Amino acid sequence: MGVNMIKLGEVQTLEVLKTTDFGVYLCERGQSSGSSILLPKNQVPQGMQGGDEIEVFVYKDSEDRPIATTTIPELTLGKTAVLKVKEVTTIGAFLDWGLAKDLLLPFKEQTERVQTGKNVLVALYIDKSDRLCATMKVYDYLECNSPYKKDDRVNGIVYEIIDSFGAFVAVDNRYCALVPTKELHRILKVGEVIEARVIQVKSDGKLDLSIREKAHIQMDTDSELIYNKLQEASGFLPFHDKTDSEVIKAEFNLSKNAFKRAVGRLLKEGKITLSDEGINEVR
């Protein structure tokens, strides 16, 4: 598979070089002396003959021979797509990408162990043995030219979590984004689809996201959360200004500041009173 030849993992238009009983051999357009590849008989359109052109995808069959197909899979070389895990074996996972032969996702290319039936975001690459494989390490395959700007709402899939950075997200399965650690107010998992707000478009085009609303909208949600807990607890919660921030985080999944803002709002609305012991509901 050299330069200017039939390209593994890509959709391309090839020319019929010759027809046989078991299919047609295709070559590059106008390159009858170059390499050729088989398009099996069951894929050949009726009445096809030498010199005709056809769009195909090139991959390798179970014997590791390059082969053409008129079925265009959900993923092509260097691109990303969300695929379903068909089975997990001793060498890795096999993904359904729309072709008869499933796509291998080797263990070393998994950012987290995958499970049968789950969806994963992957990119397609050619491995050292010249075979097509999938990788969950998609950072380098994502685009940095998204149409989004600050405060836009976006959807994306979490593909890797690195504690020192945050949760890496592919917005629309293709654009490079990150929920920085300081914005992670709840635990995200690899494979989770999230809705988020763009808080910054960096100079290189990568997006920083937040899964929290803007402060005033979030405050409503936070106040409601605290008020609901207060009602569930018969009108008293033993939390106050001196309560350790870790305890507040564990109980409400809020930062101490967000907690104070929300409590302040409930106080202002006359729904609660505060004492040294904690928060009381006004009945």
Using DSSP, state whether 137 is helix, strand or coil.
Answer: coil
Taking only the tens place, the pLDDT of each residue in 164-218 is 999 999 999 999 999 999 888 788 888 889 999 999 999 999 999 998 766 566 6
The residue written with tokens 């609901």 in the block is: 228
39 closest CA partner among 54, 131, 99, 47: 54
Distances (CA, A) of 278 to 230, 235, 236, 237, 241: 11, 10, 7, 6, 9
Taking only the tens place, the pLDDT of each residue in 227-270 is 898 889 889 999 988 889 899 998 888 888 889 888 988 988 88
Domain covering 215-281 assigned CATH 1.10.10.10 in the classification: yes
Class of CATH domain 142-210: mainly beta
Query: Quick one: tokens of 101?
Result: 């032969």
Class of CATH domain 11-69: mainly beta
Distance, CA of 139 to CA of 80 (rounded, Å): 10
Q: List the domain boundaries for the chain.
A: 11-69, 80-139, 142-210, 215-281
One fold for 11-69 and 80-139: yes
Distance, CA of 265 to CA of 271 (rounded, Å): 9
Question: Would you say 177 and 167 are in contact if contact means Cβ atoms under 8 Å apart?
Answer: no
- pLDDT category, 3, cuts 50, 70, 90? very low
Order of strands across the sheet that contains 119-126: 103-106, 92-96, 80-88, 119-126, 132-135
| pLDDT beyond 70 at 9 | yes
H/E run at residue 148: none
Give the length of the chain: 283
The residue written with tokens 């695929």 in the block is: 83
Q: Which residue has the higher pLDDT, 218 or 87?
A: 87
Query: Per the CATH hierarchy, to which homologous superfamily does domain 80-139 belong?
Result: Nucleic acid-binding proteins (2.40.50.140)
pTM above threshold 0.85: no
Distance, CA of 111 to CA of 90 (rounded, Å): 17
